[in-house]
Structure 1
Amino acid sequence: MVRPRLTIYVCQESQQVRDPQHEHEDGDGSAGTFFVYHAVYLEQLTAAELCAKLALLFRVPAQHILQIYKQGPTGIHVLVSDEMIQNFQDESCFVLDTMKAESSDSYHIILK
């Protein structure tokens, strides 16, 4: 059995149902919320591989994903590169948000 070099877990933001009546005292909104994450196994640790795996997982053509960004601590969007993926911690969890491209049927993905 071959073990992947990196495993990350992703969840689509639209799958997260927020109910303000069930918020924790700390305001994180996670009480009563059911999150479904999908495991993504990466072997080559490249942005192209991540794009292909996310396209497969969410059943969209890979060419419809224009860019993948990671949201930084101040809310900035940083373009995901091979080097960034090589520095992800194993078993990191991300919530995916999608932004529709203005000029086509393509999307930008944001890892939060």
Structure 2
Amino acid sequence: MVRPRLTIYVCQESQQLRDLQQKHEDGDTVTSTFFVYHAIYLEELTAVELTEKLAQLFSISSQQISQIYKQGPTGIHVLISDEMIQNFQDESCFVLDTMKAETNDSYHIILK
């Protein structure tokens, strides 16, 4: 049995989460929410491999994912590279936000 070199956990941000965040900002009490994370096992630690694994998770083709970004501490979006993935800590957790690309039927994915 081969052990993956890197395991990350991802959860897709939903409209329910956005609604809860909006209510929280308005001062209302937020109830606890149950989130389901999916494990992604990476062997090669490349952006191409991550794109393929995320495409499998969303049941789309990898060509439909145009870019993957990681949200930085100040809210900036940093383009994912092989070197960035190689420096992820094992068992890191991310919430995924998807944005429709403006020019075609592809998506941008943001790891938060």
Q: TM-score, normalised by structure 2?
A: 0.88
* Aligned ranges 1:1-112 → 2 under 5 Å: 1-14=1-14, 17=17, 18=20, 20=24, 21-23=28-30, 31-112=31-112
Aligned length: 105
Provide the rounded CA distance (Å) in 2 between the counterparts of 1:16 and 1:96. 14
Note the C-alpha offset of 1:16. Answer: 5.2
1:16–1:44 distance in 2 versus 1, CA, 3 Å: farther
1:14 Cα offset (Å): 1.1
Structure with the larger helix share = 2
- List gaps (5 residues or longer) in structure 2: none
For the structure 1 residues 15 and 3, does the alpha-carbon distance in structure 2 shift closer, same or farther, using more than 3 Å as the test? farther
Cα deviation, 1:7-49, whole Å, max 9, x if unaligned, reads 00000001754264543xxxxxxx5200100000000000000
Q: Structure 2 vs 1, CA of residues 16 and 90 (structure 1 numbering), >3 Å: closer, same or farther? A: farther
Q: What is the alpha-carbon distance in structure 2 between the residues aligned to residue 11 and residue 2 of structure 1?
A: 25
2:78 counterpart letter in structure 1: V
Contact in 2 for aligned 1:52/1:62 (Cα 8 Å): yes
CA distance in 2, matches of 1:16, 1:72: 23
Identity of aligned residues (%): 77
- The alignment partner of 1:10 has SS state of strand
Question: Are the equivalent residues in 2 in contact too, given 1:16–1:33 (CA < 8 A)?
Answer: no
TM-score under structure 1 length normalisation: 0.88
Measure the CA separation in 2 of the matches of 1:15 and 1:38.
Answer: 18
